[in-house]
């Protein structure tokens, strides 16, 4: 939701312009914080930032994106195994050994096609050290048993239509990785799925690109840390993986897409249902981030307003009808400013509402500016993003 002031909005941010009466009402009686979800020196990714929101210090627990996705897929890594994200990509190979990244997602290849390719790779390229695991669309995993080869990997979406020769050569410098990739290239080149794609004028999955690797972090569950039970509600595998590591139940909401057409009602209902028997829900909405990447101001404002009216309002109204005390945190993992269309590591506006606070409050709306001007972090001893959850669960 977070963004920078935009000239076209009269120097206001999308959050300031969006009509969010429910969140503003919570804000009126709540406390404001600026939450440093991305520690210095870490990439401002959803993996790092959501780890902070879940109460885990990235400096202590972050090992990479792929092991979190492995957790979401129900894969438990042995201590000597490393999960690599395995993208299906389209590479262009020049005659002089130059390599360019034509497409980081092989034309958003379908599950049916990519699962056939992953099965072929597992049949023909797997060894005691390498195994392929099928995920969704272009997003799969390679599980490697052994010592990390020491090369530094890069995300393929950062190199769209760019030369990746020097990054590709890092894999080729390691004999067993070179063997794996050479064989994978041959298997994929001859595969009927790719022949069909080429005939239809689509980008083939010409190779796999390995990145985002890490070992499975060992984290204490939220259940053990705070004596609570809970559910993760998200369309995104990464968040589901964090939920698994945190010891939460995972809700699979039909129609949860990660875009502005997501099943808002289904997500809110899943939260309401979970809170009948559990203490905590983490409801994640991807749509404002996607709108930021697409540079769509209209979609971003719509996503923020839908979040207020179709997620926050029904959940809060249901809790009020139960006559039980509750707390709500409204926040974001990181900004995805429309002007930049990528993530940044600015601290994020956060509000904490406690239903026992009955006095009329500040009258201030929920925005980047309010949270900056009235940041209560210092008085409340919150210095880093992962401390927020301790405050949420602390019973006064
Ligand atoms: Zn994003």
Q: How many Å lie between the centroid of ligand 1 and the Cα of residue 318? A: 30
**Considering 192, 214, 236, which residue would you say is the last residue of a domain?**
214
Let me know if residue 333 belongs to a domain: yes
The CATH number of the domain holding residue 38 is 3.40.720.10
Q: How many Å lie between the centroid of ligand 1 and the Cα of residue 286? A: 8
229 and 197 inside one domain: no
The whole-number pLDDT of residue 376 equals: 82
**Considering 214, 240, 257, which residue would you say is the last residue of a domain?**
214
Give dist(CA 102, CA 93) in Å, integer. 10
Q: How many domains does the chain have?
A: 2
Q: How many Å lie between the centroid of ligand 1 and the Cα of residue 395? A: 33
Please report how many Cα atoms fall inside a 13 Å half-sphere around the Cα of residue 138, on the Cβ side. 21
Give dist(CA 39, CA 55) in Å, integer. 13
Residue 375's contacts (CB-CB under 8 Å, 6 or more residues apart) are 32, 33, 34
Q: How many Å lie between the centroid of ligand 1 and the Cα of residue 116? A: 28
Q: How many Å lie between the centroid of ligand 1 and the Cα of residue 260? A: 14
Let me know if residue 76 belongs to a domain: no
Give dist(CA 56, CA 36) in Å, integer. 13
The whole-number pLDDT of residue 396 equals: 54
311 and 162 inside one domain: no
27 and 162 inside one domain: no
Q: How many Å lie between the centroid of ligand 1 and the Cα of residue 341? A: 9
What is the side-by-side order of every strand in the sheet holding 230-233?
A: 249-251, 230-233, 280-283
Residue 196's contacts (CB-CB under 8 Å, 6 or more residues apart) are none
Q: Give the residue numbers spanning the domain of 104.
A: 81-214
183 and 287 inside one domain: no
Q: How many Å lie between the centroid of ligand 1 and the Cα of residue 356? A: 35
Let me know if residue 344 belongs to a domain: yes
Give dist(CA 271, CA 276) in Å, integer. 9
DSSP for 44-60 reads --HHHHHHHHTT--HHH
Residue 42's contacts (CB-CB under 8 Å, 6 or more residues apart) are 48, 58, 59, 62, 345
180 and 247 inside one domain: no
Q: If you count DSSP H runs as helices and E runs as strands, how many of each does the chain have, helices first? A: 17, 11
Q: How many Å lie between the centroid of ligand 1 and the Cα of residue 228? A: 29
Beta strand extents in 237-373 (DSSP E only): 249-251, 280-283, 327-330, 348-354
198 and 303 inside one domain: no
253 and 359 inside one domain: yes
285 and 353 inside one domain: yes
236 and 361 inside one domain: yes
237 and 368 inside one domain: yes
pLDDT tens digits along 276-307? 999 999 999 999 998 998 899 999 999 999 99
Q: How many Å lie between the centroid of ligand 1 and the Cα of residue 360? A: 36
Query: Can you list the residues of the chain whose pLDDT is less than 50?
Result: none
Let me know if residue 72 belongs to a domain: no
Q: How many Å lie between the centroid of ligand 1 and the Cα of residue 358? A: 36
Q: How many Å lie between the centroid of ligand 1 and the Cα of residue 235? A: 13
Q: How many Å lie between the centroid of ligand 1 and the Cα of residue 54? A: 18
Let me know if residue 67 belongs to a domain: no
Q: How many Å lie between the centroid of ligand 1 and the Cα of residue 45? A: 7
Q: What is the overall mean pLDDT for the chain?
A: 93
Report which of 340, 337, 228, 218 is spatially closest to residue 274, judged by C-alpha positions. 228
Which two structure tokens, joined as six digits, stand for 244?
A: 């698994």
Report which of 385, 282, 300, 287 is spatially closest to residue 337, judged by C-alpha positions. 300
H or E stretch covering 347: none
Q: How many Å lie between the centroid of ligand 1 and the Cα of residue 337? A: 10
Let me know if residue 223 belongs to a domain: yes
Q: How many Å lie between the centroid of ligand 1 and the Cα of residue 21? A: 26
pLDDT tens digits along 92-116? 999 888 999 999 999 989 999 999 9
Let me know if residue 73 belongs to a domain: no
58 and 180 inside one domain: no
Q: How many Å lie between the centroid of ligand 1 and the Cα of residue 160? A: 16
Instruction: Look at phi and psi of residue 173 and say left if phi exceeds 0, alpha if psi is from -120 to 50, else beta.
Output: alpha
User: What does the DSSP 8-state code read for residue 12?
Assistant: B
Beta strand extents in the chain (DSSP E only): 31-35, 81-93, 99-103, 130-136, 139-145, 207-214, 230-233, 249-251, 280-283, 327-330, 348-354
145 and 250 inside one domain: no
**Considering 214, 249, 277, which residue would you say is the last residue of a domain?**
214
Q: How many Å lie between the centroid of ligand 1 and the Cα of residue 76? A: 26
Let me know if residue 360 belongs to a domain: yes
Q: How many Å lie between the centroid of ligand 1 and the Cα of residue 344? A: 10
* Mode of pairing for the β-strands spanning 230-233 and 249-251: parallel
Q: How many Å lie between the centroid of ligand 1 and the Cα of residue 47? A: 10
Q: How many Å lie between the centroid of ligand 1 and the Cα of residue 276? A: 32
């Amino acid at each position: 939701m977070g963004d920078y002031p935009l000239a076209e909005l009269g120097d206001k941010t999308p959050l300031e312009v969006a009509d969010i009466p429910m969140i503003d009402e919570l804000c009126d009686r709540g406390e404001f914080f600026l939450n440093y979800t991305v520690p210095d020196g870490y990439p401002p990714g959803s993996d790092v930032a959501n780890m902070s929101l879940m109460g885990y210090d990235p400096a202590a627990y972050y090992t990479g994106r792929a092991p979190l996705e492995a957790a979401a897929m129900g894969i438990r890594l042995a201590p000597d195994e490393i999960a690599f994200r395995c993208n299906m990509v389209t590479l262009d190979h020049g005659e002089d050994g130059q390599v360019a990244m034509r497409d980081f997602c092989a034309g958003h290849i379908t599950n049916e096609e990519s699962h056939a390719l992953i099965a072929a790779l597992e049949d023909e390229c797997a060894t005691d050290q390498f195994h392929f695991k099928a995920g969704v669309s272009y997003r799969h995993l390679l599980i490697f048993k052994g010592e990390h080869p020491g090369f530094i990997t890069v995300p393929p979406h950062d190199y769209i239509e760019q030369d990746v020769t020097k990054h590709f050569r890092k894999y080729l410098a390691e004999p067993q990785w070179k063997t794996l990739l050479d064989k994978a290239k041959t298997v994929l080149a001859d595969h009927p799925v790719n022949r069909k794609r080429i005939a239809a004028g689509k980008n083939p999955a010409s190779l796999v690109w390995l990145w985002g690797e890490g070992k499975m972090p060992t984290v204490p569950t939220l259940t053990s840390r705070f004596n609570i039970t809970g559910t993760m509600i998200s369309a995104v595998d990464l968040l589901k993986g964090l939920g698994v590591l945190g010891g939460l139940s995972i809700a699979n909401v039909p129609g949860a897409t990660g875009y502005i057409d997501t099943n808002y009602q289904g997500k809110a209902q899943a939260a309401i249902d979970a809170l009948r028997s559990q203490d905590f829900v983490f409801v994640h909405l991807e749509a404002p981030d996607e709108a930021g990447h697409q540079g769509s101001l209209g979609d971003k404002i719509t996503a923020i307003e839908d979040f207020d009216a179709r997620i926050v309002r029904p959940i809060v109204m249901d809790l009020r009808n139960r006559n039980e005390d509750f707390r709500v945190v409204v926040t974001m993992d990181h900004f995805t400013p429309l002007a930049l269309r990528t993530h940044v590591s600015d601290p994020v506006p956060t509000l904490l509402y406690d239903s026992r606070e009955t006095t009329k409050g500040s009258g201030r709306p929920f925005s980047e500016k309010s949270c900056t001007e009235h940041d209560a972090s210092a008085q409340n001893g919150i210095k880093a993003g992962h401390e927020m959850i301790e405050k949420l669960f602390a019973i006064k």
